[in-house]
A and B are shown apart, each in its own frame.
Chain A
């Protein structure tokens, strides 16, 4: 620890450097001089939107080497004017938190744990099951004999962070497959 000196006192430094509000030279230090914002190294800054609530705050995503290094509020947004709440401010962790599950997992009937399987294999298994379920519960007519051309064997429940374009494809695909039980958080 350095020796105590009156000269180090903030009030003294402030008065001496005529730094009335304490935002100028009196608060500067070599450490501060050498500090660099995380955002400075970014290769790219991308405009985005917070994925949490329906206010739709603007975000700026700072990217380096295909990794998100920082997320902050977008001052250009007329909705949020640069602000983010704790959720929006924590969204960098949504991307980078170590517990994020990045591989496909499969739990077989009656199994007590997951096993990892290949993405390709999983997609094929899902496609096969989709068609089988569709067949198992297919209905040509309702009780009155009116055509319904549908399957009740497949259902879906979506969350509130699915893009419009994604919801559009989901609705189109399920409807074309005859599946009607498609729902969303919007109803919950």
Chain B
């Protein structure tokens, strides 16, 4: 990041949320880089940026799409890079149609699927091409990705940006010029984002838009370029790599799905098609090594490495689906591990009501967080919706060990795996997660040891024999060794693997997470490497270990041109050494080390061997960066602007208000406000966006109990503009009540010029800022209403994350009602808006012809305000 010439920070308040990481932005600035911050709020980040641009929350694709359009129409894109390193030249099948052709939908929409069938998004075949894909290297073919991209974004104009995002054409020009000037052979632009992008029902597509832009401008895989995903907390990155997420196995291997992955062969065929390029080709070796790591000798070639031991998925089993099961009494027990869903998850009231339907729960934490005490102190006890004496849920509070009391690794935001040494032993009954689960596993196995039931075999056969110290704490390094992988047979049996290329399909290797292979190479804990930063070069490869293969910049082959030479001296990273006939440079090359830049792939060769010298994107099935995603995205191959749920603005880009494939949860308690143009939408006319502060940590479990941090940020507040304050008579340091269809909360008022109303869709939109760290309870040093109680559960269909950054609300001065009156108060607003459980729950905005998917009675797009009269489904 310090090497960037322009840093565009959008969807992140980096100076506030990643304060120490922000020093690298400052460093880049000192070296002459420009910093632009695009955000609904003027924040600590904006204060030190060269420019802040106020954007209407949720309109990011309009802005980024307009940048794409600007670069194409003004011929500012990076031709050599785009033609050869991306799929711009690939031709898409004849059946494909985009939202400009189909009134806001892509081809393949299926109401029954509640989303898309992506058949028509595929590449056209060419039997003569080595990789079987039809291409037009002149990029002129009307169905080439490049031309589709050009057409798709042609309506994303500076005027559209002004109208939908509330950004003036002058500011847009400033941004576009800066971006173009700093995206060349000699200069690079870095885009940084955080939860301001992910927490939207379109979040994955926001990120895709930035990827398309970065590919188009040749900024991927180059020093000072790329997209910096600022993961929120300590090891969020680690918990997706080694996931405690329902749909993944370690190393991003898919979790088996019933009907699709019934046999191991089905799993391989569907997940790692063998007729494609790239490193996923070897997914079978990674999977078999994982099964060997988990089930040891019980995993044999004869039983398909005990693949049948793994349970199967049947759809989404995410945290919000699990919550809905709780209401149906479908979940007995719930483990909550260092997390505070009563405060931190969307729709706090439903979270707590859901927990009241459990038989038991285990809360592991340092303090009595609100998730541990809701049955006694929660808001629903106060409102009378729950009565302590009637709640059947058993609650176990199990004290946890903190980061100084256990050894292990966190993976930070740049994939750096860092080891922490244990400093002290945990006090009292406190234990690490490692010890707790190891012990629980042992107890389960003891109870089942005589079982003959086949369903108990996986538990009994799993490898669980970790060495423990005198306190019962398992050796985290032994677990790391298993994650890294080792040889199971032969002369090297027990020896750790050096890298994932050593993983085999014959069961001779075991390894718990293939991308981490190498962290324990040579039996050395590389995550614990601590050569001081000032004693090594800028890449700092001897401080901890980055996956994969200690590589600091992914896809870095793209930092060199077609001939393998750096695009410029200034942006040199890895290059082809003619004499040594291999890739060399400042970073570990992310490419087959001896594959010459002019090497051509041959027909009939697949996997890593099939990568041509100009295929830098080695994990993609065609070796190219995807401007257009033929697969992998559930809501469309190209990012497209739709409005967030319950938006006060009508979508003037397409006659389809919201993403048709967003994931909806239809339930009492999760009602949505009517979207723009529908009666009742005026009851919740404003938009709030949630965020965090430097001085607090997520739902407060690790900050609201500490004196220093509590003193620094003692009270829940809302940020409002002077204009909004004026309109409602809100006074600084006074109180305001914010109301959504899910609940009402009170907060201290902070009137500030940092919040500005924006003009969008012909209306003035007021945005309200709400930090989400507070919760209602009696144990924390500071308490307050939780912003997440206002959130509904409308999810991104790709990653199932909730939308928290652009939500409809009303505001009024004063404190909220107490007790039962609060429930009535929220109901009264809902009734006034005419909300039912079905409000906002139709996927398609207008009735369509079931055959053609065209809109039966087209609305007048030029007058977005007049949707009221149109027929709504």
B174 touches A (CB below 8 Å):
no
Contact A183 B18, CB 8 Å, known A87-B697, A161-B338:
no
Q: Tell whether, in the assembled complex, residue B479 and residue A165 are in contact, meaning their CB atoms are under 8 Å apart.
A: yes
For chain A, residues 56 to 90, give those with C-beta under 8 angstroms from any C-beta of chain B: 56-58, 61, 63, 66-68, 71, 75-81, 83-90
Interface residues on A, range: 35 or more
For chain B, residues 153 to 181, give those with C-beta under 8 angstroms from any C-beta of chain A: none
Cβ contacts under 8 Å, B458 to chain A? 175-178
Q: Tell whether, in the assembled complex, residue A126 and residue B331 are in contact, meaning their CB atoms are under 8 Å apart.
A: no
Q: Which of B241, B322, B344, B375 contacts A183 (CB 8 A)?
A: B322
Binding stretch for chain A, among B395-403, B612-620, B672-680: B395-403
Question: Can you name 17 A-B pairs with beta carbons within 8 Å?
Answer: A56-B418, A76-B530, A86-B709, A94-B366, A101-B397, A105-B396, A154-B332, A154-B335, A159-B698, A161-B338, A164-B409, A165-B409, A165-B434, A167-B239, A176-B461, A186-B243, A186-B245
Q: Which of A86, A132, A176 contacts B708 (CB 8 A)?
A: A86
Q: Tell whether, in the assembled complex, residue A152 and residue B330 are in contact, meaning their CB atoms are under 8 Å apart.
A: yes
**A124, B388: Cα distance in complex, Å:** 25
**A159, B700: Cα distance in complex, Å:** 12
B666 touches A (CB below 8 Å):
no
Q: Tell whether, in the assembled complex, residue A169 and residue B319 are in contact, meaning their CB atoms are under 8 Å apart.
A: no
A68: shortest Cβ distance to chain B, in Å?
5
Q: Which of A58, A81, A99, A131 contacts B447 (CB 8 A)?
A: A131
Q: Tell whether, in the assembled complex, residue B476 and residue A163 are in contact, meaning their CB atoms are under 8 Å apart.
A: yes
Contact A163 B255, CB 8 Å, known A104-B397, A157-B341, A169-B437:
no
B528: shortest Cβ distance to chain A, in Å?
8
B424: shortest Cβ distance to chain A, in Å?
5
B154: shortest Cβ distance to chain A, in Å?
35
Cβ contacts under 8 Å, B333 to chain A? 129-130, 133, 153-155
Q: Tell whether, in the assembled complex, residue B322 and residue A163 are in contact, meaning their CB atoms are under 8 Å apart.
A: no
Question: Given A49-B410, A175-B311, A185-B232, 5 more contacts at CB 8 Å?
Answer: A87-B702, A147-B308, A157-B337, A161-B403, A186-B245
**A75, B532: Cα distance in complex, Å:** 8
Q: Tell whether, in the assembled complex, residue A85 and residue B19 are in contact, meaning their CB atoms are under 8 Å apart.
A: yes
Contact A78 B533, CB 8 Å, known A56-B410, A86-B694, A103-B399:
yes
Q: Tell whether, in the assembled complex, residue A187 and residue B801 are in contact, meaning their CB atoms are under 8 Å apart.
A: yes
B779 touches A (CB below 8 Å):
yes
B600 touches A (CB below 8 Å):
no
Cβ contacts under 8 Å, A88 to chain B? 20
B417: shortest Cβ distance to chain A, in Å?
7
**A49, B235: Cα distance in complex, Å:** 11
B858 touches A (CB below 8 Å):
no
Q: Tell whether, in the assembled complex, residue B23 and residue A81 are in contact, meaning their CB atoms are under 8 Å apart.
A: yes
A30 touches B (CB below 8 Å):
no
For chain A, residues 101 to 131, give those with C-beta under 8 angstroms from any C-beta of chain B: 101-110, 112-114, 119, 122-131
A40 touches B (CB below 8 Å):
no
B735 touches A (CB below 8 Å):
no
Q: Which of A49, A95, A101, A180 contacts B311 (CB 8 A)?
A: A180
A11 touches B (CB below 8 Å):
no
What 0/1 readout, one digit per residue, does chain A (19-63) give for beta carbons within 8 Å of chain B? 000000000000000000000000010111111111111100101
Pick the most buried of B335, B340, B708, B799: most chain A CB atoms within 10 A of its CB: B335
Cβ contacts under 8 Å, B319 to chain A? 157, 183, 187-188
Cβ contacts under 8 Å, B259 to chain A? 142, 144, 146
Binding stretch for chain A, among B121-129, B132-140, B272-280, B438-446: B438-446
B459 touches A (CB below 8 Å):
yes
Q: Tell whether, in the assembled complex, residue A48 and residue B421 are in contact, meaning their CB atoms are under 8 Å apart.
A: yes
**A72, B380: Cα distance in complex, Å:** 41
Q: Tell whether, in the assembled complex, residue B429 and residue A103 are in contact, meaning their CB atoms are under 8 Å apart.
A: yes
**A177, B388: Cα distance in complex, Å:** 32
**A91, B369: Cα distance in complex, Å:** 17
Q: Tell whether, in the assembled complex, residue A51 and residue B367 are in contact, meaning their CB atoms are under 8 Å apart.
A: no
Question: Which residue of chain B lies nearest to A48 when distances are taken between CB atoms in the complex?
Answer: B420
Q: Which of A130, A137, A168 contacts B440 (CB 8 A)?
A: A130
Q: Tell whether, in the assembled complex, residue A159 and residue B339 are in contact, meaning their CB atoms are under 8 Å apart.
A: yes
Pick the most buried of A67, A114, A155, A158: most chain B CB atoms within 10 A of its CB: A155
Cβ contacts under 8 Å, A51 to chain B? 234, 402-403, 410, 702
Question: Which residue of chain A lies nearest to B708 when distances are taken between CB atoms in the complex?
Answer: A90
Cβ contacts under 8 Å, B800 to chain A? 187
Cβ contacts under 8 Å, A109 to chain B? 391-394
Q: Tell whether, in the assembled complex, residue A172 and residue B243 are in contact, meaning their CB atoms are under 8 Å apart.
A: no
**A188, B258: Cα distance in complex, Å:** 26
B255: shortest Cβ distance to chain A, in Å?
7
What 0/1 readout, one digit per residue, does chain B (232-244) give for beta carbons within 8 Å of chain A? 1111111111111
B483: shortest Cβ distance to chain A, in Å?
6
What 0/1 readout, one digit per residue, does chain B (514-544) give for beta carbons within 8 Å of chain A? 0010000000000000101110100010010
B185 touches A (CB below 8 Å):
no
Q: Which of A79, A101, A113, A183 contacts B318 (CB 8 A)?
A: A183
Q: Which of A113, A146, A160 contacts B234 (CB 8 A)?
A: A160
Q: Tell whether, in the assembled complex, residue B413 and residue A55 are in contact, meaning their CB atoms are under 8 Å apart.
A: yes
B323: shortest Cβ distance to chain A, in Å?
9
Q: Tell whether, in the assembled complex, residue A56 and residue B413 are in contact, meaning their CB atoms are under 8 Å apart.
A: yes
Contact A142 B244, CB 8 Å, known A51-B403, A106-B396, A180-B317:
no
**A125, B800: Cα distance in complex, Å:** 33
Q: Tell whether, in the assembled complex, residue A101 and residue B336 are in contact, meaning their CB atoms are under 8 Å apart.
A: no
Q: Tell whether, in the assembled complex, residue A179 and residue B240 are in contact, meaning their CB atoms are under 8 Å apart.
A: no
Q: Tell whether, in the assembled complex, residue A129 and residue B23 are in contact, meaning their CB atoms are under 8 Å apart.
A: no
A181 touches B (CB below 8 Å):
yes
Q: Tell whether, in the assembled complex, residue A162 and residue B532 are in contact, meaning their CB atoms are under 8 Å apart.
A: no
Contact A163 B410, CB 8 Å, known A131-B448, A144-B259:
yes
Q: Tell whether, in the assembled complex, residue A157 and residue B234 are in contact, meaning their CB atoms are under 8 Å apart.
A: no
Cβ contacts under 8 Å, A68 to chain B? 404, 423-424
Cβ contacts under 8 Å, A165 to chain B? 408-409, 434, 476, 479-480, 483
B150 touches A (CB below 8 Å):
no
Top 8 nearest A-B pairs by Cβ distance?
A78-B533, A56-B412, A163-B408, A102-B428, A159-B338, A160-B233, A150-B311, A133-B332
**A187, B198: Cα distance in complex, Å:** 9
B54: shortest Cβ distance to chain A, in Å?
25
Q: Tell whether, in the assembled complex, residue A187 and residue B318 are in contact, meaning their CB atoms are under 8 Å apart.
A: yes
B815 touches A (CB below 8 Å):
no
For chain B, residues 212 to 241, give those with C-beta under 8 angstroms from any C-beta of chain A: 230-241
B585 touches A (CB below 8 Å):
no
B314 touches A (CB below 8 Å):
yes
Q: Tell whether, in the assembled complex, residue A55 and residue B312 are in contact, meaning their CB atoms are under 8 Å apart.
A: no
Q: Tell whether, in the assembled complex, residue A122 and residue B424 are in contact, meaning their CB atoms are under 8 Å apart.
A: no
Q: Tell whether, in the assembled complex, residue B433 and residue A166 are in contact, meaning their CB atoms are under 8 Å apart.
A: yes
Pick the most buried of B338, B390, B443: most chain A CB atoms within 10 A of its CB: B338
Question: Which residue of chain B lies nearest to A112 when distances are taken between CB atoms in the complex?
Answer: B388
**A75, B20: Cα distance in complex, Å:** 13
B264 touches A (CB below 8 Å):
no
Q: Tell whether, in the assembled complex, residue B244 and residue A112 are in contact, meaning their CB atoms are under 8 Å apart.
A: no
Q: Tell whether, in the assembled complex, residue B235 and residue A104 are in contact, meaning their CB atoms are under 8 Å apart.
A: no
For chain B, residues 774 to 810, give those with C-beta under 8 angstroms from any C-beta of chain A: 779, 781, 799-802
Q: Tell whether, in the assembled complex, residue B396 and residue A162 are in contact, meaning their CB atoms are under 8 Å apart.
A: no
What 0/1 readout, one digit per residue, does chain B (648-679) give for beta carbons within 8 Å of chain A? 00000000000000000000000000000000
B294 touches A (CB below 8 Å):
yes
A26: shortest Cβ distance to chain B, in Å?
32
B836 touches A (CB below 8 Å):
no
B580 touches A (CB below 8 Å):
no
Q: Which of B294, B312, B799 contacts A149 (CB 8 A)?
A: B312
B345 touches A (CB below 8 Å):
yes
Cβ contacts under 8 Å, B56 to chain A? none
B495: shortest Cβ distance to chain A, in Å?
20
Pick the most buried of A95, A114, A159, A181: most chain B CB atoms within 10 A of its CB: A159
Q: Which of A61, A91, A132, A158 contacts B239 (CB 8 A)?
A: A158
Q: Which of B339, B459, B532 contacts A158 (CB 8 A)?
A: B339
Q: Tell whether, in the assembled complex, residue B311 and residue A156 are in contact, meaning their CB atoms are under 8 Å apart.
A: no
Cβ contacts under 8 Å, A188 to chain B? 319, 341, 344-346, 801-802
Cβ contacts under 8 Å, B233 to chain A? 52-54, 159-161, 185
